[in-house]
Chains A and B, each alone.
Chain A
Amino acid sequence: MMPLALSESYLFGLPLVEIWFVVMFLTLAMFLWLDGSNFGIGVLFGLVDDEEIEESMLAAVAPLWDGTEVWLIVFGGAMFAVFPDVYAGLFSGNYMLMFLILGALIIRGVSPEFREQRHDETWQRVFGGLFVAGSVLAPFFLGMFTANWLVGSTDLFTVPGIVVGLAVVALATVEGAAFTNMKIEQPTGEITTYGTLAQVAYLVLAVTTVAYLYLFVAGMATKVMSEFSLALVGLTAVLGVAYIVMLRSGQALYAFVMAGVQTFGLVALVGYLLYPTIYPITGLTAQKAAVSELAMNLMTVVLAIFLPLVLMYFAVLYNAFRGPVQVGEGY
């Protein structure tokens, strides 16, 4: 008996491998929801003309971005720690795509901070433009990565890659529009319109993706037509309509939550379609890809202690910055 072994590799009656499979996708979903709304604000930043709203959007993101991006780091870390073969296969298999993702994230990360440092027009235009480019490209490439993972491809440009990439950009815009309306003093019709359009685009792209999987990806048909995945698609459609109604009636917070549930739904669908396989290219199952029991037990203990704390930090952070943003706040 190992010193830290939990009983028979089960926790609350669930096998640890399955817990970690879910945890890995949960961190991805948290990233796509929280950082996704930041990306969405970046997308909208490129669409909106009103300087005051632009500054509000930047101010709304500024305190949150550092924290939200860590969800991606933890997603990578969890995959590395618990399913290293998958991490190695996906990251090296999608070599050029990974560098496009990293490039987009770097540009997205530094440009708002750099933009604030100088107040002349050219400087602000350049870094404003880079902020928009990074915010569009990062979710797009991440969507491509997810699609490649799901269909077992390593090609840079594929039809499902581009469709899912666009879907994730649309979803980010959906989240960003709700978040912006939450944070500005006077929600605007312009943002609401973009949010509505993005939601419609997301629903179309999501359905297209599911149809593509059903028609063209070997072995997916049965799973796509299962009650669970059809229910997820139906739920997404209902949430999409509810989102539009909420956004239009000024209930931006609820719209933001709806978009969040849609995000979790999308990621749940990916996880469901994969399982029990975790790496379709070789057909490797989650069970076979998982690290030793002791290492997994250790990570589970770390998770059990720190995940609640992490959620608390986010509660503290979002609570400290609740309510409409005041431009010019900060250090």
Chain B
Amino acid sequence: MVDPVLASRLQFAWTTAIHIIFPTITMGLAPFLVYWTWKEVRGDGEVYARLRRFWTKIFALTFVTGTVTGIVLEFEFGTNFASYATQVGGIFGGPLATEGLMAFFLESTMLGIFLFGRERVSDRAFLGSAFLVALGSWLSAVWILIANAWMQTPAGFKMSERAGEQVAVLTDPVAAYLTPRFFYMFTHMQTAAVLSAALFIAGIASYKLLTTDDRSAFWMKTMKVALVAMIITAPLLAVHGDAYGRHIHDTQESKMAAIEATWETGGYAPLYLVAAPTSTDNVVAPAEEDLFTVGIPWGASMLAGAGDPSTVITGFEDIEHDLPPYLLVFYSFRAMVGLGFWFIFLALWGVYRWRQGSLLDDTLLQKAMVASTGLGVLAVEFGWMVAEIGRQPWAIYGELLVSDSVSPGLTGGEAMLTLIGFVGGYLLLFGTWSYLVYRLVRSGPAAPESESTASSEEVSVQ
């Protein structure tokens, strides 16, 4: 029989992994849409209206897919993790309800106006709707990450009885909701979302430059704004990613040990580039002699201690509870960081070519951009795996185990059935979304107005 805990964990992991693709893109695209809308209503040229319209189509498709996949996550806390909901709902549910009230309503009502209201509202109101959509999507991230940060570094509560059960009761809202972890998570996630969207945009623009002879202002403007975003966000991610890593060292020792695959507690810990168990018996719970590693001496300690090689890292040997599946955490972390360095390189390369005036001639750069279209989102996935798998076996770090969070009456058969349904359903959704985005890209933006029907209104602007 299938274990309902494992099936529920896999289901939540899978539905989150697919869901996160869409909000990452929409949160990242939103500021670009505000910019293009602003240029459009200012009358800075017809190309901005076309840019806004083309990217809005992709945004709308992505938003709707993100919405339907996101509702599932909120409900899964009740269906699959009812014990979790009972025990910590009094703290964890608040940010989720607040997200709906404060952020999601704003985003989704204003989106109706932004998508369908160009002819119905004034320019200023239209620009306002674009801004409020962006604001709403970012506020959503605030509340989701407040909730998640509390799971990582819980604070501001005490255990108490309600209806015959021990439950977490809020005692200090500021401590619970404004954890230091939230600030690291939010800056890292939002910067990553903008970078992911920039890579997505640049990849699509490069694809069009490579495969068509369209050398119009449209794709050049697209490339340039994406490059500006990349050159700002890619290095920034490395800077606060480094600080975030030190914060993990200070607050979550088992996650830190998994990130670095550290066996022995102590200073001068090496930064491993390769870690592998020598037998399948210790994939989850390693023993010292079974861990094959290749590493840079002192590296992990220096990163954890901002350059101080004597910084102590707690090793697996001294961790009392079960370990997270450390290999997944270890390699996800390296994949994320590796991609991060690639993005910095790509941004520098692109900006260098731009300054040289040869952005259009470098087909190798364009091919690299096309190959990187989805890599930003992939890096976000790896980052989430580090955060969420690294938190295992805890649902609330140090307080509540995932195995004690699952719904008491849930059977393995039920959990397996819905898992299969979600794997199939979400693959279909993702496939259809990808196919439709590809179709939108292939057909490209609408032709400039001046080429089809010259509009007197357009000409008279400014």
Residues on A close to B: CB < 8 A?
3-4, 62-67, 69-70, 72-74, 76-82, 84-85, 87-93, 95-96, 98-99, 102-103, 105-106, 109-110, 113-114, 117-118, 284, 288-289, 291-292, 294-295, 298-299, 302-303, 306-307, 309-310, 313-314, 316-317, 320-321, 329-331
Q: Which of A82, A102, A303, A329 contacts B72 (CB 8 A)?
A: A102
A76, B89: Cβ atoms closer than 8 Å? no
Given that A95-B407, A288-B162 are contacting pairs, would A331 and B56 also be in contact in the complex, using a CB cutoff of 8 Å? Answer: yes
Q: Which chain A residue shows the least CB distance to B177? A: A298
Which residues of chain A come closer than 8 Å to B67, judged between CB atoms?
66, 69, 109
B116, A62: Cβ atoms closer than 8 Å? yes
Interface membership of B71, Cβ < 8 A: yes
Q: Which of A90, A99, A118, A299 contacts B94 (CB 8 A)?
A: A299
A162 to B121: give the CA distance in the assembly, Å: 44
Q: Tell me if B's interface is mostly helix, strand, loop or mixed.
A: helix
Which residues of chain B come closer than 8 Å to A91, judged between CB atoms?
75, 77-79, 82, 85
- 1/0 per position for B80-92, CB-CB distance to A under 8 A? 1011011011111
Q: Which of A106, A110, A294 contacts B173 (CB 8 A)?
A: A294
How many Å from the CB of A27 to the closest CB on chain B?
9
B439, A84: Cβ atoms closer than 8 Å? no
B-side interface residues, number (CB < 8 Å): 76
Which residues of chain A come closer than 8 Å to B93, judged between CB atoms?
77, 79-82, 84, 87, 291
The stretch that binds A, out of B107-115, B185-193, B203-211, B312-320, is B107-115
11 contacts between A and B (CB under 8 A): A69-B67, A74-B104, A80-B92, A84-B90, A84-B93, A91-B77, A113-B60, A117-B436, A288-B163, A298-B94, A330-B115
B116, A329: Cβ atoms closer than 8 Å? yes
Which residues of chain B come closer than 8 Å to A294, judged between CB atoms?
169-171, 173
Given that A118-B439, A289-B163 are contacting pairs, would A295 and B74 also be in contact in the complex, using a CB cutoff of 8 Å? Answer: no
List the 6 closest A-B pairs by CB distance, nearest first: A84-B89, A91-B78, A77-B97, A80-B93, A81-B93, A291-B90
Given that A84-B93, A87-B85 are contacting pairs, would A103 and B64 also be in contact in the complex, using a CB cutoff of 8 Å? Answer: no
A93 to B91: give the CA distance in the assembly, Å: 22
A331, B99: Cβ atoms closer than 8 Å? no
How many Å from the CB of B71 to the closest CB on chain A?
6
Which residues of chain A come closer than 8 Å to B91, judged between CB atoms?
295
A80, B85: Cβ atoms closer than 8 Å? yes
A70, B100: Cβ atoms closer than 8 Å? yes
A307 to B106: give the CA distance in the assembly, Å: 11
Which residues of chain A come closer than 8 Å to B162, judged between CB atoms?
85, 288, 291-292
B94, A295: Cβ atoms closer than 8 Å? yes
Q: Which of A62, A72, A306 contacts B71 (CB 8 A)?
A: A72
Which residues of chain A come closer than 8 Å to B53, judged between CB atoms?
331
A89, B64: Cβ atoms closer than 8 Å? no
A66 to B113: give the CA distance in the assembly, Å: 11
Q: Which chain B residue shows the least CB distance to A65? A: B112
Given that A88-B407, A92-B82, A295-B94 are contacting pairs, would A102 and B71 also be in contact in the complex, using a CB cutoff of 8 Å? Answer: yes
A329 to B118: give the CA distance in the assembly, Å: 9
Q: Which chain A residue shows the least CB distance to B406? A: A92
Which residues of chain B come closer than 8 Å to A63, judged between CB atoms?
112-113, 115-117
Interface membership of B65, Cβ < 8 A: yes
A92, B111: Cβ atoms closer than 8 Å? no
Which residues of chain A come closer than 8 Å to B291, judged between CB atoms?
none
Which of B94, B117, B439 has the most A CB atoms < 10 Å from its CB? B94
Q: Which of A4, A67, A81, A320 contacts B96 (CB 8 A)?
A: A81
Which residues of chain B come closer than 8 Å to A110, judged between CB atoms?
64-65, 68, 429, 432
B90, A317: Cβ atoms closer than 8 Å? no
Q: Which of A74, A76, A303 contacts B105 (CB 8 A)?
A: A74
Q: Which chain B residue shows the least CB distance to A307? A: B101
Interface membership of B357, Cβ < 8 A: no
* A-contacting residues, B40-81, CB 8 Å: 53, 56-57, 60-61, 63-65, 67-69, 71-72, 74-75, 77-80
A313, B96: Cβ atoms closer than 8 Å? no
Interface membership of B98, Cβ < 8 A: yes
Which residues of chain A come closer than 8 Å to B68, judged between CB atoms?
105-106, 109-110
Interface membership of B282, Cβ < 8 A: no
A20 to B119: give the CA distance in the assembly, Å: 40
* A-contacting residues, B5-34, CB 8 Å: none
How many Å from the CB of B400 to the closest CB on chain A?
14
Interface membership of B410, Cβ < 8 A: yes
Q: Which of A74, A88, A117, A288 contacts B101 (CB 8 A)?
A: A74
B98, A67: Cβ atoms closer than 8 Å? no
Q: Which of A70, A84, A306 contacts B85 (CB 8 A)?
A: A84
B64, A331: Cβ atoms closer than 8 Å? no
Given that A77-B99, A99-B421, A294-B170 are contacting pairs, would A88 and B86 also be in contact in the complex, using a CB cutoff of 8 Å? Answer: yes
Which residues of chain B come closer than 8 Å to A109, judged between CB atoms?
64, 67-68
How many Å from the CB of A325 to the closest CB on chain B?
10
Q: Which of A67, A93, A114 contacts B108 (CB 8 A)?
A: A67
Which residues of chain B come closer than 8 Å to A317, judged between CB atoms?
109-110, 112-113
Interface membership of B283, Cβ < 8 A: no
Which residues of chain A come closer than 8 Å to B72, judged between CB atoms?
102, 106
A294 to B72: give the CA distance in the assembly, Å: 28
A88, B109: Cβ atoms closer than 8 Å? no
Which residues of chain A come closer than 8 Å to B355, judged between CB atoms?
none
Q: Which of A4, A114, A331 contacts B436 (CB 8 A)?
A: A114
How many Å from the CB of A57 to the closest CB on chain B?
14
How many Å from the CB of B50 to the closest CB on chain A?
12
Q: Which of B60, B94, B414, B436 contacts A81 (CB 8 A)?
A: B94
A331, B57: Cβ atoms closer than 8 Å? yes
A310 to B132: give the CA distance in the assembly, Å: 13
A292 to B93: give the CA distance in the assembly, Å: 12
B117, A292: Cβ atoms closer than 8 Å? no
Q: Which of B85, B116, B160 contacts A331 (CB 8 A)?
A: B116
How many Å from the CB of B45 to the closest CB on chain A?
19
Interface membership of B120, Cβ < 8 A: yes
- 1/0 per position for B152-185, CB-CB distance to A under 8 A? 0000000010110101011101000000000000
A54 to B35: give the CA distance in the assembly, Å: 35
A128 to B376: give the CA distance in the assembly, Å: 34
Interface membership of B425, Cβ < 8 A: yes
A119 to B359: give the CA distance in the assembly, Å: 36
How many Å from the CB of A36 to the closest CB on chain B?
16
Which of A66, A78, A288, A317 has the most B CB atoms < 10 Å from its CB? A66
Interface membership of B102, Cβ < 8 A: yes
How many Å from the CB of A247 to the closest CB on chain B?
25
- 1/0 per position for B417-443, CB-CB distance to A under 8 A? 110010001000100100010011000
Which residues of chain A come closer than 8 Å to B56, judged between CB atoms?
331
B421, A80: Cβ atoms closer than 8 Å? no
